[in-house]
């Protein structure tokens, strides 16, 4: 089915992501079936949408009529079988538990119209496995948003091994016509179901690098963050870890340790902080203190003169070339597009590193790898040969 024929969408799970996706789709003119396991969770999701839209109306960024139409377009459900009746598309945003997700896909498959496409907002789990739980694997696809949905433009459209070309195209075109509060959504194709897809995968080596440097006492988080802030980044990497939650980072590292390389295993400092309940922003303390949930005071004068910010760019480029080699995406420009729109960077790593020359990027990755004894950072063949077009 074509994207323009899609009129009704079911959003499964009305939490942080689900309510944002429902808001986006309702504003985009779709009829939304918002499902959660309890009436109170549906109501909470709907209230969050209402508050968010009201804020836009009070700032005169949204017409009151558009808010009313969007709210009227959302109907709540607590029975999955009913929520998927009469839909054209579904986006599942339930907790990140594979068993739960495959159960949802199985049940949705049994009750949704034959033509409907079933999508998951999973951060990491296998679209292929979700497809296999249904009798329509060709119509199962990943549609991965970033938090908060109404502010982050990137949405990754992920091909499971059974996903048809038509389903990929429909998912892509549906998202291309959506707009959040900042402007048009930016869909990026992920041609293979791979750990971290594109955006989170490019973050993986940075997380590993920062975790290792801190573990070995080679850096002070405040000094690194001050250095990175000094070149215009809104947040340094350690503050981002605290902001996301050290528990979330720990799970991410465990997942990459299982799927990519044991070198990603969570470092001791992170395990200690999580065990002490110091999870970052949400608990008021993590790597930094977050008094009352407010941002940590980073003294920009403490910027570490020895920390080379191009290390981060080099490691990201190297990771990107692994995605190119694996056929996850066919273009370095698409990787840059994902990085820019998923995190608000002004430039992507390939555009930034091009001026350094690929040979220097490869040498720098090799030096980091040897210095820390981390094999994962060794440059790929593609990077060594400079076989990159941008």
By annotation, the residues acting in catalysis are: 123, 144, 156, 200
Q: How far is the CB of 80 from ligand NAD (least distance, A)?
A: 7
Which of residues 21 and 285 has its CB atom nearest to ligand NAD in the complex? 21
Which of residues 93 and 324 has its CB atom nearest to ligand NAD in the complex? 93
145 - beta bridge partners? 155
Distance CA 215, CA 213 (A): 6
Which of residues 93 and 315 has its CB atom nearest to ligand NAD in the complex? 93
Given a contact cutoff of 8 angstroms between Cβ atoms, the answer to whether 122 and 93 are in contact is no
Specify the DSSP element, H or E, that contains 32: strand 31-35
Q: Exposure pattern of 48-77 as b/e (b: 16+ CB <10 Å)?
A: bbbebbeebeeeeebeeeebeebeebbbbb
Which of residues 76 and 379 has its CB atom nearest to ligand NAD in the complex? 76
Q: How far is the CB of 153 from ligand NAD (least distance, A)?
A: 14
Residue nearest to ligand NAD (CB): 15
Given a contact cutoff of 8 angstroms between Cβ atoms, the answer to whether 74 and 32 are in contact is yes
* Residues contributing to the site for ligand NAD (CB under 6 A): 12-18, 36-37, 41, 93-96, 100, 104, 121-123, 145-147
Closest to 363 in 3D by CA, of 294, 311, 290: 311
Pairing of strands 117-120, 140-145: parallel
Q: How far is the CB of 50 from ligand NAD (least distance, A)?
A: 16
Closest to 103 in 3D by CA, of 115, 94, 90: 94
Backbone CA torsion sign across 279, 285, 289, 293: positive
Which of residues 150 and 332 has its CB atom nearest to ligand NAD in the complex? 150
Q: How far is the CB of 359 from ligand NAD (least distance, A)?
A: 36
Q: How far is the CB of 329 from ligand NAD (least distance, A)?
A: 19
């Amino acid at each position: 089915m074509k994207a323009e024929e899609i009129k009704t969408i079911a959003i499964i799970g009305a939490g942080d992501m689900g309510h944002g996706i429902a808001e986006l789709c309702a504003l985009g003119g779709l009829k939304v079936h918002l499902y959660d396991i309890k009436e109170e969770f549906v109501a909470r999701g709907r209230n969050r949408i209402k508050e968010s839209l009201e804020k836009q109306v009070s700032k005169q960024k949204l017409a009151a009529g558009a808010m009313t139409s969007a709210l009227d377009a959302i109907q709540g459900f607590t029975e999955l079988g009913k929520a998927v009746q009469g839909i054209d598309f579904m986006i599942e945003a339930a907790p990140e538990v594979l068993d739960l997700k495959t159960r949802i896909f199985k049940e949705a498959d049994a009750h949704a119209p034959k033509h409907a496409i079933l999508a998951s907002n999973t951060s990491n789990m296998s679209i292929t496995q979700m497809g296999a739980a249904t009798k329509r694997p060709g119509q199962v696809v990943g549609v991965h948003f970033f938090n908060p949905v109404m502010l982050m433009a990137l949405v990754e459209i992920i091909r499971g091994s059974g996903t048809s070309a038509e389903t990929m195209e429909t998912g892509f075109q549906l998202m291309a016509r959506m707009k959040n509060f900042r402007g048009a959504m930016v869909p990026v194709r992920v041609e293979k179901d791979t750990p971290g897809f594109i955006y989170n995968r490019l973050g993986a080596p940075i997380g590993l690098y920062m975790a290792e440097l801190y573990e070995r006492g080679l850096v002070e988080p405040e000094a690194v963050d001050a250095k990175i802030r000094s070149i215009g980044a809104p947040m340094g990497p350690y503050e981002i870890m605290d902001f996301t939650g050290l528990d979330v980072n720990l799970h991410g590292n465990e997942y990459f340790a299982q799927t990519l390389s044991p070198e990603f295993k969570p470092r001791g400092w992170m395990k200690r902080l999580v065990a002490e309940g110091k999870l970052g922003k949400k608990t008021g303390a993590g790597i930094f203190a977050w008094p009352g949930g407010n941002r940590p005071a980073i003294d920009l004068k403490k910027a570490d003169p020895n920390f080379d910010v191009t290390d981060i760019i080099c490691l990201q480029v190297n990771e990107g070339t692994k995605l190119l080699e694996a056929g996850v995406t066919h273009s370095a420009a698409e990787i840059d597009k994902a990085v820019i729109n998923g995190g608000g960077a002004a430039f992507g790593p390939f555009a930034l590193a091009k001026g350094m020359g690929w040979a220097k990027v490869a040498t720098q990755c090799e030096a980091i790898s040897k210095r820390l004894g981390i094999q994962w950072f060794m440059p790929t063949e593609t990077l060594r040969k400079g076989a990159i077009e941008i």
